Amino acid sequence: MLAVAWVVCASGLFLGQPDAALEKEFEALVKLPTLRKGEHRCETWVAAANHLRQMGKEKSLKVLNAYLTKSADHERVLLICRLLFVNPKGWEPRLGGPRPPNIDRQAVKNYPLFPFAVSEGTPFVLVKGYAPGGKIGGGKQCLETCADLELIKEDYSTKDWDKAADKLIKSEHFLKIYPECDRMEMADFIRDQAKKTAKKDQ
């Protein structure tokens, strides 16, 4: 992605906060996968969303705006905002060229946070990726919308992700979203997201 100049300090957005401290707030965002690459795990999405929520609305928006200004990473901003903010109008599904390609686009409407589904307080990604295409934008507009929205009231669950995965896979909506030929593969994809990453020895 095209990097843009660092203008956060010049704008006074984090006046008085050292660069190192500000960049530390970006760590959870940088670890997130995108819909084009990376391995989706509940733990990475939960960690990022809960970390930002616990900051409060004002600071989380400042962090997201600063991150977008520094990185031009619209995709991660667009995705985390779906988990972080409550949009009464719902979020418009961005289908593009999803994998698997035969998703039922009517069934997608049952998932207001698509490409996420939340089961037992745990977020799961419902697509393996999007076909490479044009430039992704819209992060700034999304954050402007979020300025008028409320944060989620509670943290996402940090336990029992395997049970949440099984409940999602057995749900009526899940069975409707994929054709029969893709269901087993996508069920395994959901179960894999519930697995925690093995900790490396320090």
Which string of b and e fits 36-47 if b means at least 16 CB within 10 Å? eeeebbbbbbbb
Is 199 contained in some domain?
no
Is 115 contained in some domain?
yes
- Residues 6+ away with beta carbon under 8 Å from 58: none
Is 29 contained in some domain?
yes
- Given the structure tokens 């903010």, which residue do they identify? 85
**pLDDT tens, position by position, 85-132:** 999 988 887 655 566 678 888 898 899 999 999 999 999 999 887 654
Is 13 contained in some domain?
no
Is 198 contained in some domain?
no
Global model pTM greater than 0.85: no
Is 37 contained in some domain?
yes
The boundaries of the domain holding residue 145 are: 18-193
pLDDT at 16: 41
- DSSP conformational letter for 110: G
- Residues 6+ away with beta carbon under 8 Å from 24: none
Is 112 contained in some domain?
yes
Is 124 contained in some domain?
yes
Angle between helices 74-84 and 139-146 (to 10 degrees): 20
Strand residue runs (E) in the chain: 85-86, 98-99, 116-119, 122-125, 129-130, 150-151
Q: How many domains does the chain have?
A: 1
pLDDT value at 67 more than 90? yes
* Spatial CA neighbour of 124 closest among 96, 82, 88: 82
